[in-house]
Chains A and B, each alone.
Chain A
Amino acid sequence: MKQQRDSIPELVWNGNISVEVHQKENSLTYLANLPRHSYFAQILEDLKQLFAPKAALEECWLSSGKASIKWHWPVGVLYDLLSLKDPESTTALPVLWHLDFHVGSFPSSLVVPMGSMETFRSCFFNALKESDYVRNGSSSLVIALSKPETDSYWNSLLNHDFYDYRPIATKLFASKSRIIPLKFYLGADAPIVQTSASLGYTLGHVLHKQLPEFFPSDVSCSLLKPVLQGIVLPLSISTDLMNRDFCYPDGFLHIVLIPISIQG
């Protein structure tokens, strides 16, 4: 019997990126399918064990082309931002993201070192508190989570378990205030515009209001188009739908703005 179709939140949760990591002058390769809803910090220890077992964790870093990888940004956001691939491109090549592993010359002006899982856990929960603050005027919902709930949420991230994740996420992201947090990425070396918006509006309305030079119209794209969870969003999508189904585990809507495609 055909199983019930996965809900959209489950499909979003199951989105993943195939990565291939090399190190210069090292014949070993690290291959993995990383969930969009995960962090490179989670594989740092494995990478070190493979490529440089004797190195210190704080000396290790990854790059994608010329860009260095932030340990504490979600994999999905980094891919949307750095892969330089247009999701609407007609040349639909399979996704395989090539990364390079480095030890030493740590780019400390660009990457925050994640020396331990404790550091990363603290970073993650602070980001969650920050998004909670936007929705609720304080980080009250995160702080009100019981210890079992907090551990369950953290483990759902580590184990990539949708059924542990979803009930807590639904509770945290509900937003009685009807305000939601967004981060717009203008490019790999370009500013991030962090803002908030109300439920009950379209994405086009929000973009036109926050970034009028890039979005002179709230119904059509003339320069940039919005990518969230690897999908080019229509400007007509509502903030309600985005908040309900497309948040990252830290509670933010991370939207990358890429140039519109010029069709020949």
Chain B
Amino acid sequence: MASSSNAVEDRLSKKLESLHTGEETNHLQEKVNEIISSYNEKENRKVNLRFKAIGRTPLLRKNVFAINASHRFDKVIRFLKKELSLQPDSSLLLYVNYCFAPAPDEIIGNLYDNFSIDGYLLIYYCVNVAFG
């Protein structure tokens, strides 16, 4: 008799424990999601880009622009093609600080924070490959 009521108690307390753990896990995930939301809001800042042509490449009317930091780099590629009146599928290569071409899915904010110089993310552009 005593052992079976202990067994019931055991099962009850394990169930309560797992509910508690489940609650804690949900609470934890909620807190994490809250902080991530606030990060996403912060990324609505604008950052400055400065474009420079390499070689025999069309020049822009204006070469300084502000863009939302949360955008991906492919937005810059598309934007520049439009500004230069190029077809969407034409070749246009963009290099940060004349050194590397970011992947199209890199976030502008990250590129700015890590590679900007004097408040500008410097992007060199050309229609042919500048270097391998």
Contact = CB atoms under 8 A, between A and B. Distances in A.
Interface residues of A, number: 36
B49 to A, nearest CB: 17
A191 B105 contact: no
Contacts of B44: none
A133 B25 contact: no
Nearest to B20: A264
Given A187-B36, A191-B39, A112 B28 contact: no
Given A126-B103, A129-B99, A133-B100, A191 B29 contact: no
Nearest to A111: B105
Interface in B16-32: 17-18, 20-21, 24-25, 28-29, 31-32
Contacts of B31: 223
Contacts, number: 82
A259 interface: yes
B80 interface: no
Interface in B82-104: 96-97, 99-104
A260 B28 contact: yes
Band of interface residues on B: 20 to 34
B114 A126 contact: no
A196 to B, nearest CB: 6
Interface string B38-57: 11100100000000000000
B129 to A, nearest CB: 9
A181 B114 CA distance: 9
Interface string B100-132: 111111010011011100000000000000011
Interface of B: 17-18, 20-21, 24-25, 28-29, 31-32, 35-36, 38-40, 43, 74, 96-97, 99-105, 107, 110-111, 113-115, 131-132
8 contacts: A112-B74, A112-B103, A123-B103, A126-B100, A133-B96, A133-B99, A190-B39, A196-B114
Interface of A: 70, 72, 110, 112, 122-123, 125-127, 129-130, 132-134, 138-139, 143, 181, 186-187, 190-196, 213-214, 223-224, 259-260, 262-264
